[in-house]
Chain A
Amino acid sequence: MMTKVREVLLLLLLPAFVPHTDGTRYSLPGKPTEIKCRSPEKETFTCWWKPGSDGGLPTTYALYYRKEGSNVVHECPDYHTAGKNSCFFNKNDTVIWVSYNITVVATNALGKTYSDPVDIDVVYIVKPHPPEKLEVTVMKDQGWPFLRVSWEPPRKADTRSGWITLIYELRVKLEEEESEWENHIAGQQKMFNIFSLRSGGTYLIQVRCKPDHGFWSEWSSTSYVKVPEYLHREKSVWILILVFSAFILLILIWLIHMNSHSLKHCMLPPVPGPKIKGFDKQLLKSGKSDEVFSALVVSDFPPTTSNYEDLLVEYLEVYVPEQQELMVDEGKDHDGCLKSIGSASDSDSGRGSCDSDNLLMDKSGAAKEEQQQQNQEGDQIGTETQGPKEAWEKETMLCANEDVVSPSTSSKKVKTWPSVFSPVTPYSPSPLDPHNSLEMHKQNFLSDTQFPPGSPSSDHCIKKALQSSYWEVCFNNNQPYPQTDVHQQLQAHSDRNISAINDGNAPRNLLLPTRMTEYVEVQRVNEENKVLLHPIPSGHTREEACSWVGHGDNYSKVKGVNSDNVLLLQREVVEEESMEMAGAAESCYTSSIAINTPKPTTCSHIALPVQEERVLAVSGYVDTATMFSLDT
């Protein structure tokens, strides 16, 4: 009974003996966490843990480990070398390629708490010490400084034997605010160069290392280095100025080069040459002012004639010959009739200073080339308008028929000489030199037409001679000329006419009537089988009509037809100023044309006149160039 009471009393009083602190409860120690082990050189390693709460009681920690393949539990051999809450495994206790199972136990008065076990393999947890002996020196490379950084591997890491392979990295920063680190991987080398330094700046440098399979070390201690001043302020400013000015200079040069042409025009404007219609520089030089100025007189201005059509067509001085429609007859039943259309264009504009002398020669040469070109072209029916160069070569219409056998291919060419003579052309028989006349001839334009070789023989045109007394009459049986009632039409090759015209008879040519679209009417055929032609009066006086007849070499006379069916024209030198021709128009156009046979014949190629057997250009029409050369 008494014992029972004592036990109850003891039980009741027991709590009083226990020391009582406010708010503390003793408990087991907290679990150690975050066990981290690291090996600096793959020969030793250290483990650290983070202790939990101690539960209010003094707690001790112990680390136990077990190697793989063995169940023997060992305790940490060294708790102190590595500091608090650590365990250091020295060389003897460290094996590699063997897995450690490590557990940390916290013990206090109340009990033990075990941490989670951790498996580690030493080779996977290598974290070396930072590199040592970091040295930075400023070196010069031809006056430009650079930094040479060198270091040593951490003391303990055995890189010499290849046990550890270390990779290094360094970082550089300027000693100023807001500057960032610049990292460089140095590989396995222990030295590094840094270029492009700021003059007079101070740099901070650090280096760290890492094994081939492991963790980066900590950054080494910082090294400071000051770069000397190597780039002077003044020099840099001068360099900048130089560069800028060179740049601007280049731009200026380039601009000038681009605008060189317009600049040239600005500074040295071209001198325009005089360009007056009918004005002859040569004449002026020669001093005969009267003649010069008389040339300027325009008798026909304002134009009184009603033939405005001509005006429209022929208004040229220094024109590009117009394309003039050459109407063979009103009835347009001539296929393949040659039509030359004049186009007025002033190709001589702005070239007043051009040498008129040379122009003629040039043009003649050009015309020759053109003709040859055209010869090469295919057989096409077309009307080509020769350029102005042509114009003043030809004065007569040429009707070429491909059927005409001729050594030259001129047969293919038809050159029309529309009434190009402008009405402003002075009729005064002022003796102008050949040059001037030639210039007048310039007014005439020529159009070339090529007949297709295969065109039937009936496709001939009748050309009326223009200013010259030449005309061309084509043989054409099938198409009787309604107006002229001509049974047969003769074709005259009047290539040579040009030569005659231009040959020193230039002035006369000036007097040729303006109406180049004269039609020659076959009046009748006399008993001698001569075709008498007379101009169709179309508003012009007979005198005028005849006025042009007598000028120049008159190839209007057909001497005869040779055995080859070639019409031979006779050259008649007619005096100028023979305005008063015989009233009879027949005399103007007397021509002896031998009529071969009523049957249709092809147009004959007119051979050279007998009188003056001049061999002209093979090309079939006369080049003024050759003509001059021949004449002079």
Chain B
Amino acid sequence: MAQRRTSGTNLFMTVLCVVAMCRAVPINELLERASQHSDKLHSLSTTLTQELDSHFPPIGRVIMPRPAMCHTSSLQTPIDKDQALQVSESDLMSLARSLLQAWSDPLVLLSSSASALPHPAQSTIFNKIQEMQQYSKSLKDGLDVLSSKMGSSAQAITSLPYRGGTSLGQDKITKLINFNFLLSCLRRDSHKIDSFLKVLRCRAAKMQPEMC
């Protein structure tokens, strides 16, 4: 008798949830949440870069590869504000999603490398990498939902595979240098994602002009 009752209440609850979810969350709300996620992601990467720089061998800066060597550099993104504001929403969304997708594997590599990074702040770095992975995952899910509402062109993703292998290097200096380099690339790309989403947010927030 009690079981039947619990199953009945479960059914009722699921129906209620479905009904609630079916009520579409407006796009500007979704964009607001997405931009918050991307903001957090970029903040984390900035903090990580500063942490790493605190104990970085100076020689590393010389040897460090150029930012043009990032695996996402092939993706064409606007280079100034005028260009950026001329990009359509779908393209902006597509760019954001492509960049985000490009970092899912490297984040795993970063995480595994951070567990044994020869750095005094290794545990902090490792924790922050984990956090970034979580935010990246949730942002990816959110963008999937968003792009489905924005049309098919928004769902196109450019593939940007990471070809750096599964290891960052053999010796300590190389490891640190490559780690730093990857982080710098991540920092820039996360900033791009954040910027695009915030532009999209303001475009969708016609009802709340005071926010933008």
Contacts and interface: CB of A to CB of B under 8 A. Distances in A.
Contacts of A42: 81
A286 interface: no
A60 B211 CA distance: 47
B42 A213 contact: yes
Interface in A142-166: 158-163, 165
A165 B195 CA distance: 9
A165 B201 CA distance: 11
A123 B188 CA distance: 9
B203 interface: yes
Nearest to A191: B210
B198 A43 contact: no
Contacts of A124: 191
A68 B212 contact: no
A26 interface: no
Contact of B201 (A69, A97, A121, A162): A162
Contacts of B39: 212-213
Given A43-B80, A99-B67, A162-B212, A213 B43 contact: yes
Nearest to A188: B211
B104 interface: no
A95 B80 contact: yes
Interface string A74-94: 000000000000000001001
Contact of B202 (A95, A121, A161, A212): A161
Contact of A161 (B73, B80, B212): B212
Interface in A162-182: 162-163, 165
A96 interface: yes
Best-surrounded residue of B67, B191, B195 (most CB of chain A within 10 A): B195
Contacts of A99: 66-67
Interface string B185-212: 0001001101100111111000001111
| Contact-residue bracket for chain B | 20 to 34
B150 interface: no
A43 B80 CA distance: 7
Contacts of B85: 161, 163
A159 B212 contact: yes
B54 to A, nearest CB: 17
A508 B192 CA distance: 121
A69 B76 CA distance: 14
A97 B81 contact: no
B22 interface: no
Given A69-B68, A163-B199, A213-B191, A189 B210 contact: yes
Contact of B199 (A96, A162, A213): A162
Contacts of B68: 68-69
Nearest to A95: B79
B158 interface: no
A160 B212 contact: yes
Interface residues of A, number: 26
A50 interface: no
Contact of B203 (A94, A97, A162): A162
A96 B211 contact: no
Given A69-B66, A69-B68, A162 B202 contact: yes
Best-surrounded residue of B39, B73, B77, B84 (most CB of chain A within 10 A): B84
Nearest to B191: A123
B46 interface: yes
A185 to B, nearest CB: 16
Contacts of A43: 80-81
Interface in A110-142: 121, 123-124
Interface in A48-84: 68-69
Contacts of A246: none
A98 interface: yes
Nearest to A70: B68
Given A162-B201, A165-B198, A213-B191, A94 B80 contact: yes
Nearest to B197: A162
Contacts, number: 63
A121 B192 CA distance: 12
B181 to A, nearest CB: 12
A601 to B, nearest CB: 68
A69 B74 CA distance: 12
Contact of A96 (B67, B79, B210): B79
A487 interface: no
Contact of A98 (B79, B210, B211, B212): B79
A212 B201 CA distance: 14
Interface string B66-108: 1110000100010111001100000000000000000000000
A189 B208 CA distance: 11
Interface string A266-293: 0000000000000000000000000000
B100 to A, nearest CB: 16
A198 interface: no
B80 A160 contact: no
Contacts of B77: 97
Contacts of A159: 212
Contacts of B199: 161-163
A226 interface: no
B210 A190 contact: yes
Contacts of A158: 81
B42 A121 contact: no
A44 to B, nearest CB: 10
A165 B39 CA distance: 11
A160 B208 CA distance: 11
A68 B201 CA distance: 30
Contact of A97 (B43, B79, B200, B210): B79
B192 A97 contact: yes
Contacts of A94: 80
A564 to B, nearest CB: 64
B73 to A, nearest CB: 8
Interface string A178-206: 00000000001110000000000000000
A121 B203 contact: no
A97 B194 CA distance: 13
A124 B184 CA distance: 12
Contacts of B194: 212-213
A111 B209 CA distance: 57
A163 B82 CA distance: 10
A189 B212 CA distance: 9
A91 B202 contact: no
Contacts of A68: 66-68
Contacts of B209: 160
B42 A163 contact: no
Interface string B130-172: 0000000000000000000000000000000000000000000
Contacts of A190: 210
Contacts of A162: 198-203, 212
Nearest to A165: B198
A158 to B, nearest CB: 7
Contacts of B188: 97, 121
Given A97-B77, A97-B188, A163-B195, 15 more contacts: A42-B81, A43-B80, A68-B67, A94-B80, A96-B79, A124-B191, A158-B81, A162-B199, A162-B200, A162-B212, A163-B199, A165-B198, A189-B210, A213-B42, A213-B43
26 contacts: A43-B80, A43-B81, A68-B67, A68-B68, A69-B66, A69-B68, A91-B80, A97-B192, A99-B66, A99-B67, A123-B191, A159-B212, A160-B202, A160-B209, A161-B85, A161-B199, A161-B212, A162-B200, A162-B201, A162-B203, A163-B84, A163-B199, A165-B198, A189-B210, A213-B46, A213-B194
